[in-house]
Chains A and B, each alone.
Chain A
Amino acid sequence: MIRQLGKSGWVLGLVGLLVALAILTKAIQPDFSASGFESLARASLPFAFATAAMTVAILVGGIDLSVASMMAVASVTAAVLMDGAGDLTAGLVVAFVLVVGLAMGAINGALIVITRVPDIVATLAMLYVWEGVALLILNAPGGAAAPWLRELIVGSVVPWVPKSLVFLVVCLAVVWVPLKRSKLGLYIYATGSSELAAYRSGVPTRATRVAAYAIGGLFAALGGLTLTMSTGIGEPIPGPYLLAAVAAAVLGGVVLGGGIGGLLGPILAVIILRLVRMDLTLASVDPNVTTIVEGTIMVIVVMLGGILAVKGRQT
């Protein structure tokens, strides 16, 4: 029981932090309402998918710096293909974009595995490649999105339950829950924890890395889709998602270097970081101070986590 608590302790801590922030928000802004929460959740959506993409790459022992660029490719691909298309075609476009995402991620992974160039270097290179690809497809914001797609993430199911949050949970659960229970999920954690030991245990570590990056690509494509869905156009210039995704993953308890962490923590961390930013804006704090506060929170949370882990080992 206590041991189980230890494993999910980080997530519980984040939930506590989230509750505290929610109370703080209500204090600063007494008229913060369901619609405010709806727009916060919608704005968090691309960050959440970027973080999910980053998390998978880190768990397998790598890192994917091209997450934001892949999102841009997915966004413009969707917007260009949906421009003037019917509802049914739009559905096919969504499926196509998800396949493109898988393919982009798999290319990243294959590049790392085949060339043996370190993850950070290979995906840095791919950051530029995918950025160029996005601009080739669409050199200025444009295109269109099917209205029914927009309906999926705008508005609330019932007050305080935004559709965007439901969309996020469903998308992540559909991919992550079966994965976590599958052999591949175990392979990803094993490879990230100790590649040599995993290889010797018979884990196909190279294929596992490619698969993990492909899943990351899939999440990035979902992130790009949500951009197009919420704005109605494709955006070829990558947004500020890369470092935000690394920050949320680390804050969410994912250990850089691989093997430790999950998806729930990083997603909570995304919401926490967005909420902090919103609160500071509502309190009309200088935006430059806002980033200092974000960085400080990150160090403090990771440090506390480390202290608790040491305490846990001693008892």
Chain B
Amino acid sequence: MRDEAAAATPPVLEASGVAKRFGAVTALSDAALTIRAGEVVALMGANGAGKSTFVKILTGALRRDGGTIRLHGRDGTLASPAAARAAGIVPVYQEPALIPDLDVAQNLRLGDTPVEPFLHWVRELGVEGLRLDETAGRLPLATLRILDLARAIAAEPDVLMLDEMTAALPTDLVERVLRVVREQADAGRAVIYISHRFTEIAELCDRAVVLRDGATVGDLRIEPGVEDRVVEMMLGAALTPGARGARARAAAPTGTPRLRVAGLGAGTALEDVSFDLHAGEVLGMVALEGQGQDELFDVLAGFRPAARGRLEIDGRPASFRHPADAIAAGLTYVPGDRAEALLSERSVRENIALPLVARPRRWGPIAMRREAERVDAAIARMQIDTRAMGEVRRLSGGNQQKVTIGRWLAAGVETLLLFDPTRGIDVRTKRQIYELVRELAGQGAAVLYFTSELEEVRLACDRAVVMFKGRVVEILDAADASDARLMRSAYGLAPEEADA
């Protein structure tokens, strides 16, 4: 429903002035959103703007402190997710919602999901050969996300709420998802679509509602050029959009590489990978899902042994039998899942100090005070919201990710392995993370940066490695790494021009 007549139909869901406080912190002050049947509305905002809180209130997972919510013109106060479901609002949250220890069929019974429509949508969304007696916890993340979506659609909701639906999906599944979601809207459902990916929003959505600091600051029709205005609104007047242009071409690296990977293979997915990573360099890595990048990072971090090939650190051969070996060799792995990296119940300060004091084979007393200055400097550098310094888990996801990366500024790091560090993070925080990464490289760190967003190659990296089916298919300068070229390589297509 992309025509003007849409405005005439009454809204399915109408929220205004929604407010929510957590103790002293005001998460939402004046959030508003109106959606009609047949519309896809993007809900956008920087991390900490209150998107998650707003969604949780709309889906009954949290109770609001103020404002009104009307559903089909009646009071839309929802006491629980179950009540929301009964009222026709079905969410797909960012984390997989299936119960890991139950099989798929039991999970369907749990939510009274009809099996036949569910299977229809699973196939429609591009997942083949699903077994209903498979334990949910054994399925890959991308499949779980698809199952969540299929389950939600099979419930025939009036309002479908999708939170970062495509974040963990490979490109081919993303296209399927966008098509099916658009069809759902055309069939008369209202879809609230939360995403940081402008290309998807431009392709799918009719309008964008923008949140900033807990209040709705804009409601824009999606049209060419709207991206700049959305970014402007998300960032606020106080911040200039900043330079998002390509970085200058880096000088070709010379000398002994910090890390040399030669003919590395492991398991069935990682065949034969070779590349050099130099000090002071950020080497991007691009691959579709399951091309061996997980195995490569596992080997480099010492989580699993290599079956074939060699590793060299500063020209000397190395092999890791334990993560401690990799850490001792100066390789630091920052997982994409920040929950794996942080002590979520400890303070920001302690989390930053942890790598300073927790070096392997150093069991002596902790000189916290001596490190305090460096920790303070790192906190100031990271621009972290100080309201939630006491416990890391109270930080927004983006700020948590800043801590996982920025703490290496204080600790110092030789080689940093970043695995999709900006997944599900807003534009402003992403840019801060790029700056942190550049700063680490400026200090002399060698950074390997796997990303699922192609533009990050140009924004944060010097060179890029493209992997396909467990092999390196192209290594190119970031300045030459257009989306089209990276995409062709990632799909295993020959580059359009010869590359030395």
Residues of A whose CB lies within 8 Å of any CB of B are 3, 183, 186-187, 189-190, 192-194, 197-204, 259-260, 313
| Chain A residues within an 8 Å CB radius of B85 | 202
In whole angstroms, how far apart are the Cα atoms of A204 and B83 in the complex? 10
Looking at the complex, which of B96-104, B115-123, B446-454, B484-492 is the stretch in contact with chain A?
B96-104
In whole angstroms, how far apart are the Cα atoms of A199 and B110 in the complex? 11
| Chain A residues within an 8 Å CB radius of B319 | none
Q: Which of B81, B93, B95, B100 contacts A202 (CB 8 A)?
A: B81
| Chain A residues within an 8 Å CB radius of B133 | 3
CB of B97 within 8 A of CB of A197, answer yes
| Chain A residues within an 8 Å CB radius of B82 | 202-204
- Which chain A residue lies CB-closest to B112? A202
CB of A202 within 8 A of CB of B106, answer no
CB of A186 within 8 A of CB of B106, answer yes
Residues of B232-254 whose CB lies within 8 A of A? none
- On whether A200 and B93 interact (CB within 8 A), knowing A186-B106, A187-B110, the answer reads yes
Interface centre among B61, B109, B110, B138 (most CB of A within 10 A): B110
What are 26 A-to-B residue pairs whose CB atoms are below 8 Å? Answer: A3-B133, A187-B110, A189-B101, A192-B101, A193-B100, A193-B101, A193-B102, A194-B101, A197-B97, A197-B99, A199-B61, A199-B80, A200-B81, A200-B91, A200-B97, A201-B97, A201-B98, A201-B99, A201-B107, A201-B110, A202-B81, A202-B85, A259-B99, A259-B101, A260-B101, A313-B138
Closest-CB distance, B417 to chain A (whole angstroms): 26
| Chain B residues within an 8 Å CB radius of A198 | 99, 110
| Chain A residues within an 8 Å CB radius of B107 | 201
| Chain B residues within an 8 Å CB radius of A259 | 99-102
- Asked whether any CB of chain A lies closer than 8 Å to the CB of B111, the reply is yes
Q: How many residues of B sit at the interface, in one of the four size bands?
A: 20 to 34
CB of B110 within 8 A of CB of A193, answer no
| Chain B residues within an 8 Å CB radius of A260 | 101
- Which chain A residue lies CB-closest to B82? A202
CB of A200 within 8 A of CB of B61, answer yes
In whole angstroms, how far apart are the Cα atoms of A187 and B111 in the complex? 10
Closest-CB distance, A61 to chain B (whole angstroms): 11
Q: Is the interface of B mostly helix, strand, loop or mixed?
A: loop
Q: Which of A190, A192, A313 contacts B110 (CB 8 A)?
A: A190
CB of B81 within 8 A of CB of A186, answer no
A sample of 13 more A-B contacts (CB under 8 A), given A202-B80, A203-B110, is A3-B133, A183-B109, A186-B109, A187-B110, A189-B101, A190-B110, A192-B101, A197-B98, A197-B100, A201-B99, A201-B110, A204-B82, A259-B99
In whole angstroms, how far apart are the Cα atoms of A201 and B151 in the complex? 10
In whole angstroms, how far apart are the Cα atoms of A194 and B110 in the complex? 13
Interface mask (B352-395 → A, CB under 8 Å = 1, otherwise 0): 00000000000000000000000000000000000000000000
In whole angstroms, how far apart are the Cα atoms of A235 and B177 in the complex? 64
| Chain A residues within an 8 Å CB radius of B95 | 197
Closest-CB distance, B94 to chain A (whole angstroms): 11
Q: Which of A3, A183, A190, A204 contacts B99 (CB 8 A)?
A: A190
CB of A201 within 8 A of CB of B101, answer no
CB of B111 within 8 A of CB of A189, answer no
Q: Which of B93, B98, B102, B138 contacts A186 (CB 8 A)?
A: B102
CB of A194 within 8 A of CB of B99, answer yes
Closest-CB distance, B53 to chain A (whole angstroms): 15
CB of A193 within 8 A of CB of B99, answer yes
- Which chain B residue lies CB-closest to A206? B80
| Chain B residues within an 8 Å CB radius of A202 | 80-82, 85, 110-111
Closest-CB distance, B111 to chain A (whole angstroms): 5
Interface mask (B143-187 → A, CB under 8 Å = 1, otherwise 0): 000000000000000000000000000000000000000000000
- Which chain A residue lies CB-closest to B92? A200
- On whether A199 and B100 interact (CB within 8 A), knowing A3-B133, A187-B110, the answer reads no
In whole angstroms, how far apart are the Cα atoms of A197 and B102 in the complex? 11
In whole angstroms, how far apart are the Cα atoms of A270 and B349 in the complex? 49
| Chain A residues within an 8 Å CB radius of B110 | 186-187, 190, 198, 201-203
CB of B111 within 8 A of CB of A201, answer yes
Sorted nearest first, the 6 A-B pairs with minimum C-beta distance are A202-B82, A193-B101, A259-B101, A190-B99, A193-B99, A201-B111
- Which chain B residue lies CB-closest to A202? B82
| Chain A residues within an 8 Å CB radius of B98 | 197, 201
| Chain A residues within an 8 Å CB radius of B81 | 199-202
